[in-house]
Homo-oligomer: A and B are copies of this chain.
Amino acid sequence: MRYVQTVSNVLNLVKAAILPALAKAKVVVDATAGNGNDTLFLAEHTGDEAKIYAFDIQQAALDNTRMKTAAYAQRIVYVLRSHAELECVVAEDIDLAMFNLGYLPGEGHNVTTQVESTREALRQVLAKLSLNGVCVLVVYPGHEAGEQEAAMLEDYLSALVKQDYTVGCYRLLNHSRTAPYAYVVEKVRKRSED
A17, A161, A185 — most chain B CB neighbours (10 Å): A17
Q: Is A152 an interface residue (CB 8 A)?
A: no
**Count, chain A residues at interface, CB 8 A:** 44
Q: Which of B154, B167, B173, B185 contacts A157 (CB 8 A)?
A: B173
The reply to whether A167 and B174 form a contact with Cβ atoms under 8 Å apart is yes
Q: Which residues of chain B come closer than 8 Å to A186, judged between CB atoms?
A: 5-8
The 8 A CB mask of A1-23 against B (1 = contact, 0 = none) is: 10111111110010011111100
Contact between B17 and A13, CB atoms less than 8 A apart:
yes
A184→B16 CA distance, assembly (Å): 13
CB neighbours of A1 from chain B (8 A): 193
Residue A8 contacts which of B158, B161, B184 (CB distance < 8 angstroms)? Answer: B184
Kindly list chain B residues whose C-beta atoms are within 8 Å of the C-beta of A188.
Answer: 3, 5, 8
User: Is the CB–CB distance between A167 and B162 below 8 Å?
Assistant: no
Q: Could you tell me the distance between the alpha carbons of A159 and B186 in the complex, rounded to whole angstroms?
A: 32
Is B8 a contact of A18 with CB atoms below 8 Å?
no
